[in-house]
Amino acid sequence: MTPRDAYAALSDHGRRISALEGAATILSWDQETMMPPRGGAQRAESRGALAAVLQDLRTDPRIADWIAEAGRADDWPADIAADLRDADRAYTRAARLPAGLAEALARETASAHQVWAEARAARDFPRFVPALTRVLALRREEAAAVAAPGQTPYDALLEEFEPGARVEDLIPVFARLRAGLTETLDRIRGAAVRPPKLTGAFPESAQMALARDLAGDCGYDWSAGRLDRAVHPFSSGSGGDVRITTRVDPSDPTECIFATLHETGHALYEQGIAPALLGRPSGRWASMGVHESQSRFWENHIGRSEAFAPWLLHRMSIAFGEIGVKKAGQLHAAVNRVERGFIRTAADEAQYDLHILMRFDLERALLSGDLPPEDLEVAWADRFEADFGRRPRHAAEGCLQDVHWSEGMIGYFPTYTLGNLNAAALAAAMRRDLPDLDAALSAGDLSAPLDWMRDRVHRHGRVMNAPELMAQACGGPVDETPLLAHLHAKFGAIYDF
């Protein structure tokens, strides 16, 4: 077998895995959007069975032989070299998993998700504790199995979402960010300015219609996607099938608007990966920190920007009539109003990362065993009170608000803050390249930022690793400086400090 024959065999095998991963994604999407309530147990079995098939394919010993043979050629282009690099990483990780663990994780997290949804609706954290305990035990087992030399258990799980990242590198960046956020928040809380609130009638049908319009304005391809409602908004899929969800609060349209823009950002990334890369290791997202940069960019640097406010006011006035503000500047201030809310997904930019840093600390304590699952509700409330000055009134606005831990997604939360860091750096670079950006945004023309992201980020998939991709897009390494500068400038203008 020649190196090219080996690469061809590896590619055929990888496309089969990718196709079945797509089927698993649809099962998960259906569970959150359309599955009947009594379908949970059967869905857990289906997802477990499919996970077992995928694990067999991912650990096929021929993969190692194909990679070794293909690697004998030294003239591969960058995309194929990336395929081989990432296929080797994925195979090594999968081969370390004990037999049956992937199936057990898929089955247990599908079941835990159902329990979480019921516990959240009932505001009953103790109902969720046994499921959370089982998920944590399985994830600890996974972390111990897949950890590379020198990796901590948490790093081993973080690797799944942010390849190459290490807690020891994140902690100092997050500490500097926290200090800067606290300084900005102190100025906001000491300001005399109080932005207006939106008022009016916001019917569900009108919110969903507006959500659809805004996603289309951003460039979302409706022939390759759809919009539905979910308890916890998310985006899923790739290529020609990229689905988004949102949620509706009849008293406040901003949650639907910005959740939709957030998930549209994720979807635009998936729809923008070069077609030639789809189904290949290099055709996946570079990291979840890059993925979250896209959602946070469209949600905050476009949707909550001063330049976009005239167009958003126009769209909202058509959808709802009177909304309590008449001018674009008033709307801009209203949608960036800083309040001590309990819900992460509804948090303003100034406080959002404090929500994430709290979860980052708590989930590391859960994984290590320093925080028993049954103590999470109180630990969450104590930390929230320390950071925000308020205690959650019940678990649904506390430790049950997020879906992540029911899905076993330990290590995902820090990627939101990495996404904010990346988004601010990308926005700064974009503004240097597009001096007429604000005029286009005011008119509702979002083609320029989409084209810029397509060229700098989307089309490349995972051909470059995340730090390389961000460095070439932004002109250098990313740190907390652009985000803190953005927040200080935005909120300084709104709150007059």
- The percent of residues above 70 in pLDDT, for the chain, comes to 100
| Cβ proximity of 237 and 25 under 8 Å | yes
Q: Is 90 exceeded by the pLDDT of residue 199?
A: yes
What value does the mean pLDDT take over residues 117-129? 97
E strand or H helix at 241, and its extent? strand 241-246
Q: Is 90 exceeded by the pLDDT of residue 232?
A: no
pLDDT of amino acid 329: 97
CA atoms of 379 and 366, how far apart (whole Å) = 11
Q: Is 90 exceeded by the pLDDT of residue 140?
A: yes
pLDDT of amino acid 299: 98
Q: Is 90 exceeded by the pLDDT of residue 332?
A: yes
Q: Is 90 exceeded by the pLDDT of residue 99?
A: no
The number of angstroms, rounded, from the C-alpha of 118 to the middle of its chain's C-alpha atoms is 23
Tell me whether residue 262 is annotated as binding.
Answer: yes
Tell me whether residue 142 is annotated as binding.
Answer: no
Q: Is 90 exceeded by the pLDDT of residue 19?
A: yes
Q: Is 90 exceeded by the pLDDT of residue 231?
A: no
Residues known to be catalytic: 263
What value does the mean pLDDT take over residues 444-451? 98
DSSP string, 254-310: HHHHHHHHHHHHHHHHHHHS-GGGTTSGGGS-S-HHHHHHHHHIIIIIITTSTTTHH
Tell me whether residue 480 is annotated as binding.
Answer: no
pLDDT tens track for 397-426: 999 999 999 999 999 999 999 999 999 999
Average confidence score pLDDT of the chain: 97
- The percent of residues above 90 in pLDDT, for the chain, comes to 97
The torsion defined by the Cα of 176, 182, 187 and 189, in degrees rounded to 10, comes to 160
How many CA atoms does the CB half-sphere of 377 hold within 13 Å? 18
Q: Is 90 exceeded by the pLDDT of residue 210?
A: yes
pLDDT of amino acid 108: 96
Q: Is 90 exceeded by the pLDDT of residue 94?
A: yes
